[in-house]
Structure 1
Protein backbone atom coordinates (compact mmCIF):
# COMPACT_ATOMS: atom_id res chain seq x y z
CA UNK A 1 0.00 0.00 0.00
CA UNK A 2 2.87 2.36 0.81
CA UNK A 3 4.39 1.75 -2.63
CA UNK A 4 1.05 2.41 -4.33
CA UNK A 5 0.59 5.71 -2.50
CA UNK A 6 4.14 6.84 -3.29
CA UNK A 7 3.80 6.13 -7.01
CA UNK A 8 0.21 7.36 -7.38
CA UNK A 9 -0.35 10.09 -10.00
CA UNK A 10 -1.01 13.52 -8.55
CA UNK A 11 -4.59 14.74 -8.56
CA UNK A 12 -5.32 18.26 -9.67
CA UNK A 13 -4.84 20.60 -6.76
CA UNK A 14 -7.44 23.28 -6.08
CA UNK A 15 -10.26 21.41 -7.85
CA UNK A 16 -13.16 20.40 -5.62
CA UNK A 17 -15.00 17.12 -6.08
CA UNK A 18 -18.56 17.51 -7.27
CA UNK A 19 -21.56 15.36 -8.11
CA UNK A 20 -23.10 15.38 -11.57
CA UNK A 21 -26.38 13.74 -12.63
CA UNK A 22 -25.45 11.82 -15.78
CA UNK A 23 -29.06 11.21 -16.83
CA UNK A 24 -29.47 14.86 -17.84
CA UNK A 25 -27.19 17.08 -19.96
CA UNK A 26 -27.37 19.87 -17.40
CA UNK A 27 -25.87 17.60 -14.76
CA UNK A 28 -28.64 18.63 -12.34
CA UNK A 29 -30.94 16.07 -10.72
CA UNK A 30 -34.66 16.36 -11.49
CA UNK A 31 -37.53 13.93 -10.96
CA UNK A 32 -38.54 14.21 -14.63
CA UNK A 33 -35.05 13.13 -15.75
CA UNK A 34 -35.28 10.07 -13.52
CA UNK A 35 -38.61 9.13 -15.08
CA UNK A 36 -37.32 9.60 -18.63
CA UNK A 37 -34.21 7.59 -17.82
CA UNK A 38 -36.26 4.73 -16.33
CA UNK A 39 -38.38 4.55 -19.48
CA UNK A 40 -35.38 4.17 -21.78
CA UNK A 41 -34.30 0.65 -22.78
CA UNK A 42 -30.84 -0.39 -21.63
CA UNK A 43 -28.42 -0.04 -24.55
CA UNK A 44 -25.08 -0.37 -22.75
CA UNK A 45 -24.05 -3.53 -24.67
CA UNK A 46 -24.80 -1.77 -27.96
CA UNK A 47 -22.69 1.22 -26.93
CA UNK A 48 -19.77 -1.00 -25.96
CA UNK A 49 -20.02 -2.89 -29.26
CA UNK A 50 -19.92 0.43 -31.13
CA UNK A 51 -16.95 1.56 -29.04
CA UNK A 52 -15.02 -1.57 -30.00
CA UNK A 53 -15.95 -2.09 -33.65
CA UNK A 54 -16.56 1.50 -34.80
CA UNK A 55 -13.07 2.60 -33.88
CA UNK A 56 -9.96 4.03 -35.51
CA UNK A 57 -7.89 1.15 -34.13
CA UNK A 58 -6.76 -1.64 -36.50
CA UNK A 59 -9.05 -4.71 -36.83
CA UNK A 60 -6.73 -6.97 -34.81
CA UNK A 61 -6.83 -4.47 -31.92
CA UNK A 62 -10.63 -4.28 -32.12
CA UNK A 63 -10.82 -8.07 -31.99
CA UNK A 64 -8.53 -8.18 -28.97
CA UNK A 65 -10.68 -5.57 -27.19
CA UNK A 66 -13.74 -7.72 -27.90
CA UNK A 67 -11.99 -10.76 -26.39
CA UNK A 68 -11.03 -8.70 -23.32
CA UNK A 69 -14.63 -7.48 -22.96
CA UNK A 70 -15.86 -11.08 -23.07
CA UNK A 71 -13.12 -12.27 -20.69
CA UNK A 72 -11.61 -14.61 -23.29
CA UNK A 73 -8.02 -13.43 -23.56
CA UNK A 74 -5.42 -16.13 -22.86
CA UNK A 75 -4.19 -15.16 -19.41
CA UNK A 76 -2.39 -17.69 -17.21
CA UNK A 77 -5.49 -18.44 -15.15
CA UNK A 78 -7.56 -18.90 -18.32
CA UNK A 79 -4.99 -21.29 -19.84
CA UNK A 80 -4.91 -23.30 -16.62
CA UNK A 81 -8.70 -23.51 -16.52
CA UNK A 82 -8.76 -25.16 -19.98
CA UNK A 83 -5.90 -27.54 -19.18
CA UNK A 84 -3.10 -25.85 -21.15
CA UNK A 85 -1.06 -25.03 -18.04
CA UNK A 86 -0.48 -27.52 -15.26
CA UNK A 87 -1.52 -27.03 -11.65
CA UNK A 88 2.12 -26.30 -10.73
CA UNK A 89 2.52 -23.46 -13.24
CA UNK A 90 3.34 -19.92 -12.07
CA UNK A 91 0.16 -17.89 -12.53
CA UNK A 92 1.43 -14.60 -11.11
CA UNK A 93 1.12 -11.35 -13.05
CA UNK A 94 4.36 -10.56 -14.91
CA UNK A 95 4.02 -6.87 -14.01
CA UNK A 96 3.74 -7.07 -10.22
CA UNK A 97 4.57 -10.75 -9.53
CA UNK A 98 2.15 -10.63 -6.59
CA UNK A 99 -1.36 -11.42 -7.87
CA UNK A 100 -2.81 -14.14 -10.07
CA UNK A 101 -2.98 -13.07 -13.70
CA UNK A 102 -6.60 -12.51 -14.69
CA UNK A 103 -7.86 -10.31 -17.53
CA UNK A 104 -9.07 -7.59 -15.17
CA UNK A 105 -5.86 -7.67 -13.14
CA UNK A 106 -3.26 -7.53 -15.91
CA UNK A 107 -5.18 -5.01 -18.04
CA UNK A 108 -6.56 -2.77 -15.32
CA UNK A 109 -6.12 -3.52 -11.62
CA UNK A 110 -2.40 -4.30 -11.43
CA UNK A 111 -0.46 -1.46 -9.82
CA UNK A 112 1.60 -1.00 -12.99
CA UNK A 113 -1.46 -1.07 -15.28
CA UNK A 114 -3.26 1.38 -13.00
CA UNK A 115 -0.35 3.82 -13.27
CA UNK A 116 -0.46 3.55 -17.07
CA UNK A 117 -4.21 4.26 -17.19
CA UNK A 118 -3.81 7.21 -14.82
CA UNK A 119 -0.98 8.63 -16.93
CA UNK A 120 -3.00 8.43 -20.17
CA UNK A 121 -6.08 9.98 -18.58
CA UNK A 122 -3.89 12.63 -16.99
CA UNK A 123 -2.71 13.43 -20.54
CA UNK A 124 -6.31 14.53 -21.12
CA UNK A 125 -6.63 16.29 -17.77
CA UNK A 126 -9.09 13.67 -16.50
CA UNK A 127 -9.17 12.33 -12.94
CA UNK A 128 -11.12 9.12 -12.46
CA UNK A 129 -12.14 6.33 -10.12
CA UNK A 130 -10.87 3.08 -11.58
CA UNK A 131 -13.56 0.52 -12.51
CA UNK A 132 -13.08 -2.98 -11.17
CA UNK A 133 -13.28 -4.83 -14.47
CA UNK A 134 -12.73 -4.43 -18.22
CA UNK A 135 -16.50 -4.56 -18.68
CA UNK A 136 -16.96 -1.67 -16.24
CA UNK A 137 -14.13 0.25 -17.91
CA UNK A 138 -15.70 0.08 -21.38
CA UNK A 139 -19.14 0.92 -20.02
CA UNK A 140 -17.72 3.99 -18.27
CA UNK A 141 -15.89 5.02 -21.43
CA UNK A 142 -19.11 5.02 -23.47
CA UNK A 143 -20.75 7.41 -21.00
CA UNK A 144 -18.37 10.30 -21.74
CA UNK A 145 -19.75 12.88 -24.19
CA UNK A 146 -17.65 15.01 -26.53
CA UNK A 147 -17.65 16.56 -29.99
CA UNK A 148 -17.79 14.33 -33.07
CA UNK A 149 -14.17 14.89 -34.09
CA UNK A 150 -12.87 14.48 -30.57
CA UNK A 151 -15.00 11.36 -30.05
CA UNK A 152 -12.95 9.40 -32.60
CA UNK A 153 -9.80 10.28 -30.68
CA UNK A 154 -11.37 9.46 -27.31
CA UNK A 155 -12.76 6.08 -28.41
CA UNK A 156 -9.35 4.83 -29.52
CA UNK A 157 -7.74 5.38 -26.09
CA UNK A 158 -9.02 2.30 -24.20
CA UNK A 159 -8.21 -0.01 -27.11
CA UNK A 160 -4.70 1.43 -27.38
CA UNK A 161 -4.03 0.98 -23.66
CA UNK A 162 -5.48 -2.55 -23.51
CA UNK A 163 -3.53 -3.63 -26.61
CA UNK A 164 -0.26 -2.03 -25.45
CA UNK A 165 -0.45 -3.58 -21.98
CA UNK A 166 -1.08 -7.01 -23.48
CA UNK A 167 1.76 -6.60 -25.99
CA UNK A 168 4.07 -5.55 -23.13
CA UNK A 169 3.00 -8.60 -21.15
CA UNK A 170 3.80 -10.90 -24.08
CA UNK A 171 7.18 -9.23 -24.70
CA UNK A 172 8.16 -9.88 -21.08
CA UNK A 173 7.12 -13.55 -21.27
CA UNK A 174 8.42 -14.47 -24.72
CA UNK A 175 11.21 -11.96 -25.38
CA UNK A 176 12.45 -11.31 -21.81
CA UNK A 177 11.78 -7.59 -22.31
CA UNK A 178 12.26 -5.10 -19.49
CA UNK A 179 9.34 -3.17 -18.03
CA UNK A 180 9.63 0.57 -18.79
CA UNK A 181 6.76 2.78 -17.66
CA UNK A 182 7.65 6.01 -19.51
CA UNK A 183 8.37 4.30 -22.83
CA UNK A 184 5.10 2.36 -22.71
CA UNK A 185 3.05 5.50 -22.00
CA UNK A 186 4.73 7.34 -24.87
CA UNK A 187 4.14 4.35 -27.16
CA UNK A 188 0.43 4.36 -26.29
CA UNK A 189 0.11 8.06 -27.10
CA UNK A 190 1.94 7.53 -30.38
CA UNK A 191 -0.38 4.67 -31.34
CA UNK A 192 -3.46 6.74 -30.57
CA UNK A 193 -2.15 9.63 -32.69
CA UNK A 194 -1.18 7.29 -35.55
CA UNK A 195 -4.59 5.59 -35.63
CA UNK A 196 -6.42 8.90 -35.51
CA UNK A 197 -4.19 10.36 -38.21
CA UNK A 198 -4.75 7.30 -40.44
CA UNK A 199 -8.53 7.53 -39.99
CA UNK A 200 -8.54 11.23 -40.98
CA UNK A 201 -6.30 11.54 -44.08
CA UNK A 202 -7.47 15.10 -44.76
CA UNK A 203 -6.21 16.26 -41.37
CA UNK A 204 -3.27 18.63 -41.70
CA UNK A 205 -1.61 17.70 -38.39
CA UNK A 206 1.39 15.49 -37.76
CA UNK A 207 1.51 12.69 -35.21
CA UNK A 208 3.65 14.91 -33.00
CA UNK A 209 1.08 17.69 -33.17
CA UNK A 210 -1.72 15.31 -32.18
CA UNK A 211 0.29 14.01 -29.24
CA UNK A 212 0.95 17.56 -28.09
CA UNK A 213 -2.62 18.86 -28.27
CA UNK A 214 -3.91 16.88 -25.32
CA UNK A 215 -0.82 17.38 -23.19
CA UNK A 216 -0.83 21.15 -23.69
CA UNK A 217 -4.54 21.72 -23.08
CA UNK A 218 -6.53 20.19 -20.24
CA UNK A 219 -9.51 19.36 -22.46
CA UNK A 220 -12.23 17.43 -20.65
CA UNK A 221 -14.47 15.46 -22.96
CA UNK A 222 -17.56 16.49 -21.01
CA UNK A 223 -16.56 20.13 -20.96
CA UNK A 224 -19.23 22.78 -21.49
CA UNK A 225 -18.91 25.67 -23.92
CA UNK A 226 -19.14 28.13 -21.04
CA UNK A 227 -16.19 26.63 -19.17
CA UNK A 228 -14.05 26.64 -22.34
CA UNK A 229 -14.87 30.29 -22.92
CA UNK A 230 -14.01 31.24 -19.34
CA UNK A 231 -10.74 29.30 -19.56
CA UNK A 232 -9.96 31.04 -22.85
CA UNK A 233 -10.49 34.51 -21.44
CA UNK A 234 -8.45 33.76 -18.33
CA UNK A 235 -5.57 32.54 -20.50
CA UNK A 236 -5.69 35.59 -22.74
CA UNK A 237 -5.48 37.86 -19.70
CA UNK A 238 -1.91 36.64 -19.24
CA UNK A 239 -0.92 38.03 -22.67
CA UNK A 240 0.74 41.43 -22.40
CA UNK A 241 1.54 42.29 -26.02
CA UNK A 242 -0.11 42.23 -29.41
CA UNK A 243 2.27 39.50 -30.57
CA UNK A 244 1.29 37.23 -27.69
CA UNK A 245 -2.42 37.81 -28.32
CA UNK A 246 -2.04 36.95 -32.00
CA UNK A 247 -0.16 33.72 -31.43
CA UNK A 248 -2.62 32.76 -28.69
CA UNK A 249 -5.51 33.25 -31.10
CA UNK A 250 -3.85 31.38 -33.95
CA UNK A 251 -2.78 28.45 -31.77
CA UNK A 252 -6.11 28.02 -30.03
CA UNK A 253 -8.01 28.43 -33.29
CA UNK A 254 -6.06 25.62 -34.96
CA UNK A 255 -6.36 23.39 -31.91
CA UNK A 256 -10.10 23.87 -31.43
CA UNK A 257 -10.72 23.34 -35.16
CA UNK A 258 -9.38 19.85 -34.57
CA UNK A 259 -12.07 19.34 -31.93
CA UNK A 260 -14.85 20.82 -34.07
CA UNK A 261 -15.16 23.98 -31.94
CA UNK A 262 -14.73 26.49 -34.76
CA UNK A 263 -16.76 29.11 -32.95
CA UNK A 264 -13.94 29.73 -30.49
CA UNK A 265 -11.42 30.35 -33.24
CA UNK A 266 -13.71 33.01 -34.72
CA UNK A 267 -14.25 34.52 -31.29
CA UNK A 268 -10.54 34.73 -30.56
CA UNK A 269 -9.72 36.28 -33.91
CA UNK A 270 -12.38 38.97 -33.40
CA UNK A 271 -11.18 39.47 -29.84
CA UNK A 272 -7.63 40.07 -31.06
CA UNK A 273 -8.82 42.52 -33.71
CA UNK A 274 -10.65 44.52 -31.07
CA UNK A 275 -7.52 44.50 -28.94
CA UNK A 276 -5.31 45.46 -31.90
CA UNK A 277 -7.53 48.44 -32.68
CA UNK A 278 -6.22 50.17 -29.56
CA UNK A 279 -2.66 48.92 -29.88
CA UNK A 280 -0.18 51.36 -31.36
CA UNK A 281 2.99 49.70 -32.56
CA UNK A 282 4.93 49.09 -35.75
CA UNK A 283 4.05 45.39 -35.57
CA UNK A 284 0.28 45.93 -35.80
CA UNK A 285 -0.04 45.77 -39.59
CA UNK A 286 2.03 42.59 -39.94
CA UNK A 287 0.12 40.71 -37.28
CA UNK A 288 -3.19 41.98 -38.59
CA UNK A 289 -2.30 40.35 -41.92
CA UNK A 290 -1.51 37.10 -40.11
CA UNK A 291 -4.93 37.21 -38.47
CA UNK A 292 -6.62 37.76 -41.83
CA UNK A 293 -4.83 34.72 -43.25
CA UNK A 294 -5.93 32.67 -40.25
CA UNK A 295 -9.55 33.79 -40.64
CA UNK A 296 -9.49 32.51 -44.20
CA UNK A 297 -8.73 29.00 -42.86
CA UNK A 298 -11.51 28.90 -40.25
Structure 2
Protein backbone atom coordinates (compact mmCIF):
# COMPACT_ATOMS: atom_id res chain seq x y z
CA UNK A 1 0.00 0.00 0.00
CA UNK A 2 1.40 3.41 -0.99
CA UNK A 3 1.91 6.52 1.11
CA UNK A 4 -1.32 8.08 -0.20
CA UNK A 5 -3.38 5.37 1.50
CA UNK A 6 -1.90 6.44 4.85
CA UNK A 7 -2.97 10.08 4.44
CA UNK A 8 -5.69 11.05 6.85
CA UNK A 9 -7.93 13.93 5.88
CA UNK A 10 -9.68 16.39 8.15
CA UNK A 11 -13.10 17.39 6.86
CA UNK A 12 -13.34 20.29 9.31
CA UNK A 13 -10.33 22.17 7.90
CA UNK A 14 -10.02 23.91 4.57
CA UNK A 15 -7.38 22.57 2.15
CA UNK A 16 -4.36 24.74 1.44
CA UNK A 17 -1.06 24.53 -0.41
CA UNK A 18 2.09 24.02 1.62
CA UNK A 19 5.65 24.24 0.23
CA UNK A 20 7.55 21.69 2.29
CA UNK A 21 10.98 23.05 1.31
CA UNK A 22 10.27 26.16 3.38
CA UNK A 23 9.86 26.44 7.11
CA UNK A 24 6.96 28.85 6.49
CA UNK A 25 5.22 26.65 3.91
CA UNK A 26 5.36 29.40 1.28
CA UNK A 27 7.17 28.97 -2.05
CA UNK A 28 10.23 31.12 -2.73
CA UNK A 29 12.76 30.97 -5.55
CA UNK A 30 15.68 30.81 -3.10
CA UNK A 31 14.16 27.76 -1.37
CA UNK A 32 13.65 26.08 -4.76
CA UNK A 33 17.28 26.71 -5.73
CA UNK A 34 18.49 25.33 -2.39
CA UNK A 35 16.31 22.24 -2.90
CA UNK A 36 17.68 21.70 -6.43
CA UNK A 37 21.28 22.00 -5.28
CA UNK A 38 20.79 19.74 -2.25
CA UNK A 39 18.93 17.06 -4.23
CA UNK A 40 21.68 16.81 -6.88
CA UNK A 41 19.23 17.58 -9.68
CA UNK A 42 21.77 20.17 -10.61
CA UNK A 43 24.21 18.35 -12.86
CA UNK A 44 27.03 20.88 -12.92
CA UNK A 45 28.50 23.14 -10.24
CA UNK A 46 27.97 26.12 -12.55
CA UNK A 47 24.29 25.33 -13.14
CA UNK A 48 22.93 27.55 -10.33
CA UNK A 49 25.25 30.34 -11.47
CA UNK A 50 23.89 30.14 -15.01
CA UNK A 51 20.34 30.77 -13.91
CA UNK A 52 20.25 32.18 -10.42
CA UNK A 53 23.58 34.01 -10.26
CA UNK A 54 22.40 36.98 -12.29
CA UNK A 55 21.05 40.31 -11.17
CA UNK A 56 17.70 39.98 -12.95
CA UNK A 57 14.06 39.72 -11.91
CA UNK A 58 13.02 36.43 -10.33
CA UNK A 59 10.34 36.01 -13.04
CA UNK A 60 13.06 36.14 -15.69
CA UNK A 61 15.23 33.66 -13.77
CA UNK A 62 12.26 31.29 -13.40
CA UNK A 63 11.47 31.56 -17.12
CA UNK A 64 15.12 30.84 -17.90
CA UNK A 65 15.10 27.78 -15.63
CA UNK A 66 11.87 26.50 -17.24
CA UNK A 67 13.35 27.04 -20.71
CA UNK A 68 16.50 25.07 -19.88
CA UNK A 69 14.37 22.29 -18.37
CA UNK A 70 12.27 22.32 -21.58
CA UNK A 71 9.19 23.00 -19.45
CA UNK A 72 7.65 26.05 -21.12
CA UNK A 73 4.13 25.35 -22.35
CA UNK A 74 4.68 25.60 -26.09
CA UNK A 75 2.24 24.18 -28.64
CA UNK A 76 4.01 20.82 -28.89
CA UNK A 77 3.74 20.28 -25.11
CA UNK A 78 0.15 21.55 -24.90
CA UNK A 79 -1.02 19.26 -27.70
CA UNK A 80 0.75 16.24 -26.15
CA UNK A 81 -0.92 17.00 -22.80
CA UNK A 82 -4.31 17.27 -24.55
CA UNK A 83 -4.72 20.89 -23.47
CA UNK A 84 -4.92 21.99 -27.10
CA UNK A 85 -6.87 19.85 -29.57
CA UNK A 86 -4.75 17.41 -31.57
CA UNK A 87 -6.26 18.86 -34.75
CA UNK A 88 -4.54 22.19 -34.07
CA UNK A 89 -1.30 22.85 -35.89
CA UNK A 90 1.82 22.52 -33.76
CA UNK A 91 3.86 24.77 -36.06
CA UNK A 92 5.69 27.81 -34.71
CA UNK A 93 3.43 30.84 -34.49
CA UNK A 94 6.16 33.10 -35.93
CA UNK A 95 7.60 31.16 -38.87
CA UNK A 96 4.99 28.42 -39.49
CA UNK A 97 7.85 26.18 -40.65
CA UNK A 98 8.97 24.12 -37.63
CA UNK A 99 7.28 22.48 -34.64
CA UNK A 100 6.86 25.01 -31.83
CA UNK A 101 9.31 23.77 -29.20
CA UNK A 102 11.33 25.68 -26.59
CA UNK A 103 14.70 25.59 -28.39
CA UNK A 104 13.07 26.53 -31.67
CA UNK A 105 11.14 29.50 -30.26
CA UNK A 106 13.96 30.96 -28.21
CA UNK A 107 17.01 30.20 -30.37
CA UNK A 108 16.41 28.63 -33.78
CA UNK A 109 13.30 30.27 -35.23
CA UNK A 110 14.25 32.63 -38.05
CA UNK A 111 12.60 35.48 -36.12
CA UNK A 112 14.32 34.90 -32.76
CA UNK A 113 17.67 34.06 -34.37
CA UNK A 114 17.48 37.34 -36.32
CA UNK A 115 16.97 39.24 -33.06
CA UNK A 116 19.97 37.48 -31.51
CA UNK A 117 22.08 38.04 -34.63
CA UNK A 118 21.22 41.76 -34.65
CA UNK A 119 22.11 42.09 -30.97
CA UNK A 120 25.41 40.29 -31.37
CA UNK A 121 26.26 42.28 -34.50
CA UNK A 122 25.58 45.46 -32.51
CA UNK A 123 27.96 44.20 -29.79
CA UNK A 124 30.49 43.22 -32.52
CA UNK A 125 30.40 39.55 -31.48
CA UNK A 126 30.84 36.74 -33.97
CA UNK A 127 28.53 34.00 -32.83
CA UNK A 128 27.39 30.58 -33.96
CA UNK A 129 23.87 29.64 -32.92
CA UNK A 130 24.14 26.86 -30.29
CA UNK A 131 22.09 23.68 -30.42
CA UNK A 132 19.96 24.44 -27.37
CA UNK A 133 18.93 27.14 -24.92
CA UNK A 134 21.10 25.36 -22.32
CA UNK A 135 24.24 25.73 -24.46
CA UNK A 136 23.28 29.32 -25.21
CA UNK A 137 23.03 29.98 -21.45
CA UNK A 138 26.52 28.58 -20.80
CA UNK A 139 27.91 30.71 -23.65
CA UNK A 140 26.21 33.74 -22.12
CA UNK A 141 27.54 32.89 -18.65
CA UNK A 142 31.12 32.78 -19.85
CA UNK A 143 30.79 36.10 -21.66
CA UNK A 144 31.27 34.81 -25.20
CA UNK A 145 34.77 36.20 -25.08
CA UNK A 146 33.81 39.82 -24.48
CA UNK A 147 33.91 42.20 -21.56
CA UNK A 148 30.87 42.81 -19.40
CA UNK A 149 30.85 46.50 -20.33
CA UNK A 150 29.49 45.61 -23.77
CA UNK A 151 26.50 43.95 -22.16
Same fold (TM > 0.5): yes
Q: What is the CA distance between 1:46 and its match in structure 2?
A: 3.0
Gaps of 5+ in 2: 1-41
Question: What is the CA–CA distance in structure 1 between the aligned matches of 2:141 and 2:58, rounded to whole Å?
Answer: 19
Q: What is the CA distance between 1:126 and its match in structure 2?
A: 0.2
Which residue in 2 is equivalent to 1:87?
86
Q: What is the CA distance between 1:146 and its match in structure 2?
A: 5.7
Asked if the contact 1:48/1:142 (under 8 Å) is kept, the reply is no
Gaps of 5+ in 1: 1-42, 154-213, 215-220, 222-298
Q: What is the CA distance between 1:47 and its match in structure 2?
A: 2.1
Question: What is the CA–CA distance in structure 1 between the aligned matches of 2:64 and 2:81, rounded to whole Å?
Answer: 21
Asked if the contact 2:50/2:138 (under 8 Å) is kept, the reply is no
Which residue in 2 is equivalent to 1:242?
none
Which residue in 2 is equivalent to 1:30?
none
Asked if the contact 1:48/1:138 (under 8 Å) is kept, the reply is no
Task: Map 1:126-165 to 2 at 5 A.
Answer: 126-144=125-143, 150=148
Q: What do residues 50-87 of structure 1 show as CA deviations (whole Å, max 9, x unaligned)?
A: 12112122110110000001000000001112221121
Give the direction of change, closer, same or farther, for the CA distance of 1:146–1:68 in structure 2 (3 Å limit): same
Task: Map 1:18-167 to 2 at 5 A.
Answer: 45-144=44-143, 150=148
Question: What is the CA–CA distance in structure 2 between the aligned matches of 1:74 and 1:143, rounded to whole Å?
Answer: 28
Asked if the contact 1:121/1:127 (under 8 Å) is kept, the reply is yes
Aligned to 2:44, what secondary structure does the other structure show? helix
Q: What do residues 23-44 of structure 1 show as CA deviations (whole Å, max 9, x unaligned)?
A: xxxxxxxxxxxxxxxxxxxx98
Question: What is the CA–CA distance in structure 2 between the aligned matches of 1:105 and 1:136, rounded to whole Å?
Answer: 13
Give the direction of change, closer, same or farther, for the CA distance of 1:48–1:120 in structure 2 (3 Å limit): farther
Aligned to 2:51, what secondary structure does the other structure show? helix
Query: What is the CA RMSD across the aligned residues, in angstroms?
Result: 2.2
Give the aligned length: 109
Computing the radius of gyration from Cα coordinates, the structure with the larger value is 1
Asked if the contact 1:47/1:142 (under 8 Å) is kept, the reply is no
Asked if the contact 1:73/1:103 (under 8 Å) is kept, the reply is yes
Q: Which has the higher contact order (CA 8 A, sep 6+)?
A: 1
Give the direction of change, closer, same or farther, for the CA distance of 1:46–1:131 in structure 2 (3 Å limit): same
